[in-house]
Every structure is written in C-alpha cells, then in structure tokens.
Structure 1
Amino acid sequence: MSTIEDVAKLAGLSRTTVSRVLNDHPYVSDEKKKLVQKAMEQLGYVPNSAARSLRNQKTGIIAVLIPRISDPFFSQLIEILEMEASSKGYQLIICQTQFSKQKECRYLNLLKTKQVDGVIMTSVENDWSVIDTYLNFGPVILCNENVDCAQVPMVYINQAESGYMVAKYLLERGHTRIAYCSSGMSRKGTQSRLEGFMSALQEADIHDYDQYFFERVSTVGDGQQIFRKLENMKAAPTALIAGEDAVAAGIISEAKKLGWNIPGDLTVVGYDHMTMTKLIDPMIATVIQPVEIMAKKSIEVICEKIHKKQFRVFENHEFSSKLVFRQSLLNNRNLVATS
C-alpha cells in the first residue's frame, strides 16, 4: 500500500508540501497540486480522510432533519439538497424526526459530538431556547421554516402570502364556501399558510369557516375520507384547498367514484406541484413552491457558515409561490346559486 512518502518521492516534492495539498492549504501552487494529483493516481494512493477530518475538525458531512421521508415535498427537497451538497464536496445524512422533540435533540447531538459539520433543519419541534444551545458546536440553518427569535440563517417560502393568494383567487371567482385541508399545526409554515387563507376570508367578510377546516390531512387516503365528510354536508363547499397534492388526488378520485364532477361540482387546488398532479384526471391545479431555489440557497448558506465558522448570524432568504392553472380549477356550476 502506497504512503504519503511514496507520493512525495514520485512527485518530486517534500512530504510537507504533499500534506498541504491534501489538506487544501491555500498557499500551494496549481502546478504542485497537479504533480501531487498525478502521483496519487499513478500509485493508487487514497488519503486517510478519517485522520484528516480529526486534524481539521471537519467531517464533510451535513445532517438534514426532516419530519417525514415519505412526504413527497420533503423527498423532492432532499434530492435537490443532496445533489447540490455533492457538487460542493459534502455528503448528506438524512435524519427523520417524525415530529419528535427527543429525536430532534438526538440528531442535533451529531453536531455536538463533531460527527457532522452542520445541520439543516426543515422543521422545528423544540423551543428555540433548546436548539440555541447546540449553536456552540457548529452552524444550524432553517430550510422551509422560520422562527422569529432564531439568530440563524432562514431559507423559506412566504406561506402566508401563498395561502392568501389562493384564497383570494377563489373568492374573486365567486366561491364563498371554501374548504381547507392542513397537514398539521406544529410547523410555523403550516400556521402561516392558514393565517394567509383566513386573512383573505376575513377581508371578504366570511367568518363561518370552521366546518370546512380539516387538520392533520396529508395522504391520498386522508383525502378520500375528507370527501366523504364533504358529501354529507348540507351546504357543501364549492372549492377546496388541499395542503398537499396527495390529498387533492384522494379527494378527486373519491369524488369521481361517487359521481361528482370536478371541477363542475367542486373546484380543487393542491400544493407542491408533484408529478401526480399531471396524472390525475382532471389534472390538478396546484401551487408551485420554489423547492429547487430554496434547496440550492440552503446548501450555499450552510457551506459558507461551515467555512467561516459563523454559528450565530441572522439571515433572511424568503421566496414566493405561484399557482398553476389546470382543469380542476375551471368554472364551477354551483357558483350560480351561491355567488
């Protein structure tokens, strides 16, 4: 097995110079770097990355905390995060919290024990005072979340603007009975989207919407169950905003099974612009969230904080969503009687 001394001899350089090249020392010429690289390739020499990481206090690993791997939104987010991190020489480890405070702390301990260089949190379960203590050991950034008191970089979508935009669009087209499906109330983004929705309804002087609000709805099966509840209402909604495309798909499939016309009897809007939105008949109108832009910005920011060793720096990176118009959002025949 070749050693660093063998590389130095073949390259015609000192062992110290080769060591500097391997450790990305800033004051080594490109010519010497090429000589070292060529010698390593000829000898089949592989640096001991574990030993290097101990010396440098770096692992080349970033932890990403997500609530549910099975959620299509987070699956898409992780895929882009991984590709972007890989392009910058980092590996990701995926940590599923399942909305557990204990699991969240367990994964944050990876930062404390120097097993990762930084942490990207896509949801926050503990009080920020708990998470703040881990900033003594490395950078943490929020992706898809924003916490008012957090002094860390936050990369997120303006969910209040998004919820307001969709509700306003439906209201302007005559809908006054709008159902709303939420995936859960623990996340700030989910709460903000609901606040935006409610703000639009209150502007239109609509206050009696409790019967049309459904919480902890996130799967196709959930959507099917929600539709059965809608069907039995005396004053069924004319439009529905699903917090996830999977829910919208479940609602549409069950509605068609029971003889409803979409969008003739019920206008449906999903969220996240998943592939399934184009496969359902009718195709689902959905809200595009800038996942790719958000993921790329998150990796850019976490890599910068790791390099500069900046652990408590507030930054705000906010992005907007847009509505994709498809068949499930066309004119609704029930509006004649309700508008």
Structure 2
Amino acid sequence: MVTIDDVAELAGLSKSTVSRVINHYPHVSQEKKERVYQAMETLGYVPNSSARSLRNKKTKMIAVIVPRLMNPFFGQLVESMEVAANQQGYQLLICQTMYSQDTELGHLNLLKTKQVDGIILASLENEWNNIAEYLSYGPLIMCNEFDESAEIPIIKLDQIHGGYIATKHLIRQGHTRIAYCSGGHKSMVANHRKIGFEKALAEHGLRFDESLGFFDAYTIENGIEVFKEIHKMDNPPTAVFTGSDEVAAGILTGAREYGVDIPGELSVIGFDNQVISRIMDPKISTVEQPIEQMAQKAVHVLVEQINSNNKPAKERYELPLELIIRESTVGGPLRAVE
C-alpha cells in the first residue's frame, strides 16, 4: 500500500511539506505543489481524507478554475458562484492558474483525489484532450472559456455577437481604422470576438489591418503599453476595440498622460461592464456580460451533474450580451456612418 512517506521520497520533499500540500495549507510554493501532485499521480496515491470522502461519496465541495482573481470579471464571477454554491449546500474552492498549463492540471487533480465533487473550468490553458481523462474521476463543465470539442456542458456567451455590436458601434461613429486588442491567441472567447469584429468591418467594405492587432493584453498596465504603441504610429487608428475594461482603462490612462483626447482623437470600447468602466473619466463604452446569471447557471448545471449518474451531456447554454454606450466613444468629431 502506497503511503505519504512514499510520496515524500519520490517528490524529494519532507513528509510535512507533502501533508501541507494535500491539506491545502498556504505558503507552499507552486513548484513543490507540482512535485507532490506528480508523485501522487505516479504512485496512484489517494490521501486518507480523500479515501473517507470517497466512502461518503460527497465532499460538498466544488472548485472553480480561473486565470487570475485580480481581473474584475473573474472576481465577480467567483463571488457570484460562491453565493450560488452556498445556496445549494456546497462550498466553493477557488483555484488560480496564472495562465499556467501545469498549474491547471494540478488543480484538476483535486477531482482525481476526491477532494472536490466537481470542477467548473472558467478558463482553459490546456487542450481538451489533455483534460478529458479527468472526467473519469468526476464531472467537469466549462463556463466562459470553452472548447467546442469538449463532451461536457458549456455555459457561454455569444462572443461573436459581442465583437460585432462593439465594432458596429465604432463604425457608426465614423471610424474606419480600428485597432483590435485582446487576450491570448488560443482563447476561444477572444477568437470568436475577433470573428465578430471582422464581420462588422466586412459589412462596411473594411478590412482589418494586421498591424493594428494587439494580443496578450489583460491588465491596465498592458493597456498603457498598447496606447504607447499606437501613439508611436505614423498612421494610428482612430478607435480601439479591447477585450476587457481593464485594458480599456489602461488605454485611457496612457492617453491622459500624453494629452490625447478621448474620444475626440481616439475612441475606446471595453468589454465586461465592470465598475472601472463607470468610474473612469470619460466613462468607458463596453459590452455587458451577464456574470451573475452565468455563475448561477454554471453552479446549477454542475450540481445536477454531481447528483446524476448519467454520462455528462454535451449541452450548450448561451446567454445574451448588451452594448453599453458611454463617453469614451461618443462625442468625437467624426461623422456617424449608417
């Protein structure tokens, strides 16, 4: 029988460190956590507490995996999920990946070791075929980020429509040279928004200038850097579509530092309708995502999966988006195009 001593020996760590990792104590480095998880995986070790949970069938714990809680979108999503989980008698465990594939797989081991009853994937760092094997240990669902090949329930938003209505608004304000700014290339959410962005351009006989594409932008600091790149251009865009209100706020911050008028010289539209979009000066036009509704649906669907002995259905739940127009795109000198 494999013991915690065997795990400690294989991981090259002390027994106490392994115990802290298993029991989710703070102040253990990610590198040590991954060594412990790998050793447990290799040896097929299941902690005693997890074995008790297995006998009792339910832990009444579910986990949500997000990239970073500092992003207001994910902070609000997790808060809403925690409320929904508590209402159904579950506790919510919050797991950050910081965009690391290995960290994501480490969090998925919580399902394998029976420390949670199910997991909500609100972000996705690995390919689905690297995640699918964890279904044999318990239910998974996707919420927000998604992979259409996944044979599990997905709660998502019509991101193509979101990219379309945001870009259509900018075109109606008279803009024909529009920059596109988003997160990672592998994100299905970002890819679908770009499809909607280019669809709106095409309807007006416009084409996307690839030199106006900015990627891997997630934070206010990233937005400031995007603005600096734009400001250096000989032929800069007159508007920017961004994938988050944080990035949009960063662009506005950079514009203020350089004395560029928003929206007179540069219009900016965000995404999410976070608090920051309403407190910036000028207030930021954005696309509102129904975060609370999405969180409630995700928890409800996951709990249904936990309580069901059936194979997870490939169900798709799509929620609506709404364009919110504010001062960052309205009031400029350009003539509206219908």
Place the TM-score, normalised by the shorter chain, in its bin: 0.7 to 0.9
TM superposition shift of 1:207: 2.1
Cα offset, 1:52, TM superposition: 7.7
Aligned-residue offset at 1:56? 2.5
Larger radius of gyration: 1
Percent identical pairs in the alignment equals 43
Q: Unpaired segments of 5 or more residues in structure 1? A: 1-48
| Displacement after TM superposition at 1:101 (Å) | 2.0
Alignment-derived partner of residue 176 in structure 1: 176
Q: Matches of 1:151 and 1:337 in 2, distance apart?
A: 45
Corresponding position of 2:72 = 72
Aligned AA (1:224):
I
- 1:282-316, Cα deviation, whole Å (9 max, x unpaired): 11111111111110000000011101133421111
Residues 171-320 of structure 1: pairs in structure 2 closer than 5 A: 171-320=171-320
Asked whether 1:104 is paired with 2:104, we answer yes
| CA contact 2:180–2:214 (8 Å) conserved in 1 | yes
Partner Cα separation in structure 2 for residue 51 and residue 111 of structure 1: 12
Residues paired across the two proteins, number: 290
Letter in 1 for 2:258: L
Evaluate the alpha carbon distance shift between residue 338 and residue 136 of structure 1 in structure 2; reply closer, same or farther with a 3 A threshold: closer
Aligned counterparts of 1:170 and 1:181: Cα–Cα separation in 2: 14
CA shift for structure 1 position 257: 2.4
**Counterparts of 1:87 and 1:337 in 2: how far apart (Å)?**
48
Change (3 A) 1:337 1:279: closer
SS at match of 1:170: helix
| Paired AA for residue 114 in structure 1 | K
Mapped partners of 2:184, 2:81: distance in 1: 24
| Residue 82 (1) aligns with residue 92 (2) | no
CA contact (8 A) 2:180 2:242 kept: yes
State the TM-score, normalized to the length of structure 1: 0.81
Match of 2:62?
62
Structure 2 Cα separation of the partners of residues 151 and 120 of structure 1: 14
The root-mean-square deviation of aligned C-alpha atoms, in Å, is 2.1
* 4+ runs deviating over 6 angstroms: 49-52
- What per-residue deviation string (whole Å, max 9, x for no partner) do you get for residues 78-115 of structure 1? 01001110111101111112222222222111111211
Q: 1:19-73 CA distances to partner (integer Å, 9 max, x unpaired)? A: xxxxxxxxxxxxxxxxxxxxxxxxxxxxxx9998454311000011111122111
Q: Which residue of 1 aligns with 2:159?
A: 159
Q: Deviations over 1:137-181 (max 9, x none)?
A: 111000002322211110011111110111122223321011111
Deviations 1:112-138 (A, max 9, x none): 121110010012222222211111111
Counterpart residue identity of residue 144, structure 2: N
SS at match of 1:327: coil
